[in-house]
Amino acid sequence: MTEERFTELLGKKLSGEINAEELAEFSKLISLNEAYRKEYESLVMYWQQDEKPYDRIADIFEEIKSRTDIPEREAKAPKQVRRMKSRFSLVQKIAAVLFIFIVSAGTYRVFSGRFPDKAEIEWKQLETPSRLLSSLDLPDGTKVTLNSESVLKYPVAFKGDNREVYLTGEAYFEVTSDHKHPFIVHTDKMNIRVLGTAFNVKSYMSDRTEEATLLRGSIQVTFPDNPNEKVLLKPTDKIVLKDSNYHLEKQSYYNQQDSHIMEILWMTNKLAFRNETFETIANQLSRKYGVKIVFTNNSLRDLKFTGEFEKETLNQALFSLQLVTPFRYRTKGNNVYLY
């Protein structure tokens, strides 16, 4: 149990959730075990990387939008979210991946938990249609905000060692802390284990990638097709999974002066993107406006744009994109055809 306990205390120490008694226990462990001490020191170095500046591509898009008939958006006070560190070098990413807890099958059972028999649990399901957001409080007090075209499956009451939910789509979680009962979010390609934290998960079947962004606390990500591999995220980290391969990024901001985190702008009904493919943006537009966007010219899928929409109509949004890179579209019923 010593290695299991060290892992638990390490996560609390790095996320700032450790109490005085646990800190004393953690200090004793690293003083008596050189391997633990080196692991801790290496991860602390990873925690303290310098940030790099953002480019100004967003400003260019705003100038283009100013030439259209799009009405001026109301200014909103920026959220008081601390700007954290920026992107990692390749070496730093490798260091993060190398700090994976390789433990025995018995230890893995502690991490993944002993799930109660699903047949004994009464489940509920919340579905959010396109163009809308929804929110709910789970039985343990955890707060969830659900993006459009998303589904959350959750129990009427949490039972057993873990608190488990299942997500298709996108959701923001503020998890009630309970160190004895870890909270686990299951998606199609990731299992995200937390104790008490705030994070965003995006897992739409129509998107090429899945991602999880950590705002505060700590989370551990495992993969259904490779359960022995574990990735620990620190605040402002984002893991992006594509075709069973993953890499680490940092949470992003629309521009240097903006403190709004792009990964959770959807919670304020904004759609923001930086150097994203047209295919990715089209999926977001489909969910925001409740339409089906069809590419009749596949070469358009990989065009890249940077921009932000809030109160614009769909036609205004598409017109703005046309000014950046010419393309055509036509609307028939609930379908929008791009060519």
Q: Which residue has the tokens 């240097």?
A: 256
CB 278 within 8 A of CB 290: no
Provide the pLDDT for residue 304: 93
Give pLDDT, residue 120. 73
Tell me the C-alpha distance between 320 and 58, whole Å: 13
Task: Print pLDDT tens along the chain (339 aa).
Answer: 566 677 777 777 766 667 778 888 888 888 888 878 877 776 666 555 544 444 455 555 665 555 555 544 433 333 333 333 333 333 333 333 333 332 333 333 333 333 445 557 899 999 999 999 999 999 999 999 999 999 999 999 998 899 999 999 999 999 998 988 999 999 999 999 997 799 999 999 999 999 999 999 989 999 988 888 999 998 999 999 998 889 999 988 866 666 778 899 899 888 888 889 999 999 999 999 999 999 999 999 999 998 889 889 999 999 999 988 889 999 998 899 999
Q: Looking at residue 80, what is its pLDDT?
A: 35
Between CA 10 and CA 47 the distance in angstroms is 13
> Could you tell me how far CA 336 lies from the centroid of its own chain?
28
Helix axes 34-47, 20-32, angle to 10 degrees: 120
Domains contained in the chain, CATH given: 61-81+266-338 (3.55.50.30), 87-250 (2.60.120.1440)
